[in-house]
Structure 1
């Protein structure tokens, strides 16, 4: 079980994630209340080498994505828009493609991206990304094993349903953002509490 925490804007929180051995930190570069500039993301993350950096984009230009990738030293770019297969392929850098699942038929969109060489992950979220709403996990049962091996699960994960998510979905990565906030700001206490639950489950074999 790997953990990704998205929407980070403060250096102290990057430091905390590295200390707690969180696997991925996400910086949001598209329009969002969690948006950060390329310069700020570089400033707050440049001292930390043991955590993978993910840049979140939505229908941004190739030029802007590559600028952020190179200047911040990102490990992955996460695409939340309607970027077509050709766009993803042409980036030629590791991509996590996000999918907002409104119904069971939404699953069909995922398979269109299966044969892309630089696709590093499939992130599945509820109908409105970043809202913290849980969707129907049973929709994911039809996914092939090669997709499941790269599956990032987002949408309403918390201490109470984390174990159920691992049992039913078995994702490679659990992705969190809004649940770890208080009044729209990341809470160190909530992050620590969630990672204590992660540690407990890992000790039990998850």
Structure 2
């Protein structure tokens, strides 16, 4: 089972997360309390091993700006968390993760045809499009409607509930942000515990080499 740690804003936390076994690191470029500057994200990426995915999170941004930031930072994947259309996604040069706030199974099958390899199921919208730390009823999800996609599960995950979530949804990857924070700051102990928990459930821990400078 793969793990994405989202909302990273500093080098130290990113290196630690990769060392603990994170498969993907998320950088938020939309309005958020975890928004990171382009320069800082570029610096962080320079310390990460090549096998770790570098995901940029955008909300209703222009294609030109998405591509510009991706090129400068060195992103490998683009997460679209707004109202982006299928045609918009097809114009992006990098692999797409399309995020949706799960409300019901009505219309979920439409996203099976969305031009993206990944669909991210998130909790209800709050002040921001994502990272609100709100879970939803995983039992309501008909995962068969997304059988063509690699499903990433997000929304209110933490070490105490991720096992249940994985058993119900059986996602390709789990995505956590606020669930590994203390007082709004990424907590290395919680990150390590979360990754170890997921890797224990999903099989062998993927130990990454990591780069120090």
- Normalising by structure 1, we get a TM-score of 0.90
Residues 14-39 of structure 1, C-alpha deviations (whole Å, 9 max, x = no match): 11011112000000001111001111
**Distance in 1 separating the partners of 2:41 and 2:65:** 14
Of 144, 147, 151, which aligns to 1:145?
Answer: 147
Aligned length in residues: 199
**Distance in 2 separating the partners of 1:195 and 1:32:** 24
Q: 1:1-206 alignment to 2 at 5 Å?
A: 1-49=1-49, 50-105=51-106, 107-113=108-114, 116=115, 119-128=116-125, 129-141=130-142, 142-147=144-149, 150-203=150-203
Q: Relative CO higher for 1 or 2, CA cutoff 8 Å, sep ≥ 6?
A: 2
Structure 1, unmatched stretches of 5+, are none
Residues 166-191 of structure 1, C-alpha deviations (whole Å, 9 max, x = no match): 21110000000011111111111111
**Distance in 2 separating the partners of 1:137 and 1:198:** 17
**Distance in 2 separating the partners of 1:36 and 1:109:** 32
Residues 140-194 of structure 1, C-alpha deviations (whole Å, 9 max, x = no match): 22414212xx100001112222222221110000000011111111111111121
**Distance in 1 separating the partners of 2:53 and 2:93:** 18
Shift of 1:134: 1.3
- Normalising by structure 2, we get a TM-score of 0.87
**Distance in 1 separating the partners of 2:96 and 2:203:** 31
Structure 2, unmatched stretches of 5+, are 206-213
**Distance in 2 separating the partners of 1:204 and 1:62:** 38
In structure 2, relative to structure 1, the CA distance for the partners of 1:170 and 1:126 (3 Å cut) is same
| Superposition RMSD in Å | 1.8
